[in-house]
């Protein structure tokens, strides 16, 4: 702003030579404009502001503060949602669950199961061969959360829980929890 005023005073000085006015008078007028503050005006938000430009800056800051407080609330909501994330519980009737691999292979889609046995070997990233106590073997898919930080060996007797996924004539056994016995 001061650069603009200085530029106008230089132009005024050069124009004064052509208009036969005193250059000293023009320089004094320019200096008085630079030294005097802008007259305060009553702004639209209900407070005194120093000019239109300052008012726009102030309004922008208010919007930024509103956005920051809104972001803070969103972060708090996300934190609350994280605390309630996970299994919510419910009713499970063990009498309807498949008890061995033979029952699991013939079960309908989304049938729960609880089977005891051993994991014999790994055949894929999340796929394993499971052998139940009757000697039946079948490939099972174990989710990452099912391990719960445990390390299982083929010698360990375990109980697997999950559901049956039957699609296109193929039965997959999806393990959701592994418990050591």
Check residue 10 and give its pLDDT: 74
pLDDT tens digits in sequence order for the chain, 181 residues long? 666 676 676 766 666 555 555 656 666 665 665 555 555 555 555 555 555 554 555 555 555 555 555 555 555 555 555 555 555 666 666 666 777 788 878 888 888 888 899 999 999 999 999 998 888 888 999 988 888 888 989 999 999 988 888 888 788 889 999 999 8
CA 9 to chain centre: 55
Check residue 64 and give its pLDDT: 53
94-180: what CATH class? mainly beta
* Euclidean distance between the first and the last CA atom of the chain, given in angstroms as a whole number: 80
Angle at 113 between CA 109 and CA 118, to 5 degrees: 125
Residue 148: strand, helix, or coil: coil
Check residue 158 and give its pLDDT: 92
How many other CB atoms are found less than 10 A from the CB of residue 146? 19
Contact yes or no for 103/136 (Cβ under 8 A) = no
Do the bridges between strand 127-132 and strand 137-142 make them parallel or antiparallel, or are there none, so unpaired?
antiparallel
Residue 24: strand, helix, or coil: helix
- From CA 127, how far away is CA 122, in angstroms rounded? 6
Q: Is the pTM of this model over 0.85?
A: no
Check residue 39 and give its pLDDT: 52
- Tell which residue, 120, 126, 118, 125, has the closest CA to residue 156: 118
Listed by start position, the domains of the chain span 2-84, 94-180
Check residue 102 and give its pLDDT: 80
């Amino acid at each position: 702003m001061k650069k603009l005023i200085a530029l106008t005073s230089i132009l005024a000085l050069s124009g004064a030579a052509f208009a036969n006015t005193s250059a000293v008078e023009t320089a004094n007028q320019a200096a008085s404009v630079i030294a005097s503050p802008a007259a305060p005006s009553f702004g639209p938000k209900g407070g005194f502001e120093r000019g239109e430009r300052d008012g726009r800056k102030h309004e922008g800051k208010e919007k930024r503060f509103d956005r920051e407080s809104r972001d803070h609330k969103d972060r708090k909501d996300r934190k609350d949602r994280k605390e309630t994330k996970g299994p919510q519980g419910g009713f499970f009737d063990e009498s309807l669950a498949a008890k061995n691999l033979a029952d699991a292979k013939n079960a309908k889609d989304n049938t729960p199961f609880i089977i005891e046995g051993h994991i014999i070997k790994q055949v894929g990233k999340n796929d394993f061969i499971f052998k139940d106590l009757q000697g039946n073997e079948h490939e099972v898919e174990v989710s990452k959360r099912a391990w719960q930080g445990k390390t299982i060996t083929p010698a360990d007797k375990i109980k697997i829980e999950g559901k049956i996924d039957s699609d296109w004539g193929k039965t997959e056994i999806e393990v959701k929890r592994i418990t050591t016995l």
